[in-house]
Amino acid sequence: MNDSMNFRFHLYTEIVFGRNAVSGIAALVHKYGGTKVMFVYGEGSIKRSGLYDRVKSELGGGGIPYVEFGGAKANPLRSHADEGMKLAREEGVDFFLGVGGGSAIDTAKAIALAAANDGEYWPYYRGTKPTRMAPVGTINTIAAAGSEMSGSTVLVDDIGGEGKCGLMWPPVCRPVFAIMDPTLMYSLPAKQTAAGAADIFAHTFMRYFSQYDSYLSDEYCIATLNTVVRFAPVALAHPNDFDARAQLMLAAAFSHNDLTEIGKPHNGMGGEHALERQLSGHYDFPHGEGLAVIMPAYMKYMVAHGSERDLAKVANLGARVFGPLAASVASADADTRAAAYEGIEKFTEWLRSLGLPTTLRELGIPEGELKAAAERCVENTGGSIKGYMELDADAIREIFALAE
């Protein structure tokens, strides 16, 4: 660990975990000062599952007035957040409850930022650091984005055309509570379960691949990755397996609440999200599916262009997470480069086994558009993405070519 690294760590978010945890909503809203709630959700899955009626009953029974705001898209839109901001102001809302996947939670965060900042929120997605946000609570129904415990939120700019923009890390953007009931994921379609697993993997991947060394955080990362690799197939084969759903739900939250980056600054990590955001934001496919395509290609780029340390990081991930699938990956005397490539192949096979795409063609992205896609990735970043490896448009095109 870097001897000049100083940090503070606070989990911020109160977790209420287990069966029927939803019954505690009203008490939690009161605890965190809410007097009128905006109930933010997506495009109807919570109505089909019965959660919608349950949330309304719990709020009403707890004497908490509320206003509904549905319609959050899988890739949440700035225009939709604008509508919510206007409604929240008209209704005098002071607490925001995001129910569903990361899109509903991210939308709730955007509106909560606006509520606390005189209607302004978009500058925070373009680099300005927020210092306050109205309180947000969450009930997540998918193990994926980790927005239920993170300071991050992402929106697609369908107003100004700036693509998919993320607000990353500020503690004020963390929810005050997260209700987690694994049974809420029983009805989740297999495709969403798989894409969610890829998203959890990516949030851990980005912290493992850091320019800074921290043995403890790397061990947290490896344990989290092993959890996802073990339990995602179980959840797909047995959707009502409580333990599998619980393990994935916790992995999603803790992959993105900063525990897996103890001793590492935010800069110098990852890079795969910045590449993927401009693809899913432009072509509108699930974020997790795009990450499943980008991560192996990015690892191949690391092996081809990285240092001995980079090779060792890739090989170590393969040995520690996918070693049981390949004897040579786990072998102590294996050639590092060969072991790294075999680990990437075993990772790719695991993704395919979940039914995830592993090529850009499967996502429907035409080969002739890759140059434009690469340029979109860096057009608002000063010409390059500064993550684990600095990536300019040429490097990004190469990664995209490896993902074809």
pLDDT computed for residue 370 by the predictor: 86
Q: Tell me whether residue 233 is in a domain.
A: yes
Q: Tell me whether residue 23 is in a domain.
A: yes
Q: Tell me whether residue 3 is in a domain.
A: no
Let me know whether 178 and 251 are in one domain.
Answer: no
pLDDT computed for residue 331 by the predictor: 54
Let me know whether 287 and 315 are in one domain.
Answer: yes
Our CA angle for 120, 75, 358, nearest 5°, is 140
Pair 278, 377: CB distance under 8 Å: yes
Which residue carries 């339990």 as its tokens?
Answer: 231
Using CA atoms, how far apart are residues 350 and 326, in angstroms rounded to an integer?
12
Confidence of residue 267 (pLDDT cuts 50, 70, 90): confident
Q: Which range (51-65, 90-104, 278-292) has the least confidence?
A: 278-292
- 195-246 tens-digit pLDDT: 999 999 999 999 999 999 999 999 999 999 999 999 999 999 999 999 999 9
Give the residue from 253, 282, 229, 114 showing the smallest Cα distance to 181: 253
pLDDT computed for residue 325 by the predictor: 52
Give the residue from 86, 154, 150, 98 showing the smallest Cα distance to 126: 154
Q: Tell me whether residue 5 is in a domain.
A: no
Mean of per-residue pLDDT scores for the chain? 93
- Kindly report the CATH number assigned to the domain that includes residue 262: 1.20.1090.10
Using CA atoms, how far apart are residues 169 and 129, in angstroms rounded to an integer?
10
Q: Tell me whether residue 248 is in a domain.
A: yes
Last residue in a domain, options 161, 185, 209: 185
Give the residue from 151, 206, 21, 190 showing the smallest Cα distance to 99: 21
State how many domains the chain has. Answer: 2
Strand partners of residue 129 = none
Tokens of 353: 């086994």
- 351-388 tens-digit pLDDT: 999 999 999 999 999 888 889 989 989 987 889 999 99
Let me know whether 94 and 229 are in one domain.
Answer: no
Let me know whether 280 and 381 are in one domain.
Answer: yes
Let me know whether 244 and 383 are in one domain.
Answer: yes
C-alpha radius of gyration, the chain, whole number: 20
- Kindly report the CATH number assigned to the domain that includes residue 61: 3.40.50.1970
Largest CA distance in the chain: 67
Last residue in a domain, options 185, 205, 227: 185
Q: Tell me whether residue 194 is in a domain.
A: yes
pLDDT computed for residue 301 by the predictor: 97
Close Cβ partners of 296 (under 8 Å, ≥ 6 residues apart): 344, 347, 348, 351, 358, 403
Let me know whether 28 and 90 are in one domain.
Answer: yes
- 268-319 tens-digit pLDDT: 899 999 999 889 988 999 999 999 999 999 999 999 999 999 999 999 999 9
Let me know whether 28 and 149 are in one domain.
Answer: yes
Pair 168, 270: CB distance under 8 Å: no
Q: Tell me whether residue 256 is in a domain.
A: yes
Pair 378, 393: CB distance under 8 Å: yes
Let me know whether 170 and 248 are in one domain.
Answer: no
Q: What is the dihedral of CA 264, 379, 275, 220, to 10 degrees?
A: 10
Using CA atoms, how far apart are residues 20 and 181, in angstroms rounded to an integer?
7
Close Cβ partners of 89 (under 8 Å, ≥ 6 residues apart): 115, 119
Tokens of 63: 């004497």
Using CA atoms, how far apart are residues 252 and 77, in angstroms rounded to an integer?
23
Let me know whether 181 and 235 are in one domain.
Answer: no
pLDDT computed for residue 26 by the predictor: 97
pLDDT at 2 over 90: no
Range of the domain at 334: 190-402
By CB neighbour count within 10 A (0-12 exposed, 13-18 middle, 19+ buried), where does 10 fall? exposed
In the chain, the percentage of residues whose pLDDT exceeds 70 is 96
Question: In which element (H, E) is residue 287 found?
Answer: helix 287-305
Last residue in a domain, options 125, 152, 185: 185
pLDDT computed for residue 323 by the predictor: 80
Let me know whether 154 and 197 are in one domain.
Answer: no
pLDDT computed for residue 1 by the predictor: 64
Q: Output the CA–CA distances (angstroms, integers) from residue 250 to 18, 98, 174, 184, in the order listed.
A: 11, 18, 16, 14
Close Cβ partners of 127 (under 8 Å, ≥ 6 residues apart): none
Sign of CA dihedral 354, 100, 254, 205: positive
Q: Tell me whether residue 120 is in a domain.
A: yes
pLDDT computed for residue 206 by the predictor: 96
Is 258 in a helix, a strand, or coil?
A: coil
Residue 238 main-chain phi, psi, to 5 deg: -135, 80
Instruction: State the distance between the two ends of the chain, measured CA to CA, in whole angstroms.
Output: 37
Alpha helices in 180-214 (DSSP H): 190-208
Let me know whether 133 and 148 are in one domain.
Answer: yes
Let me know whether 235 and 276 are in one domain.
Answer: yes
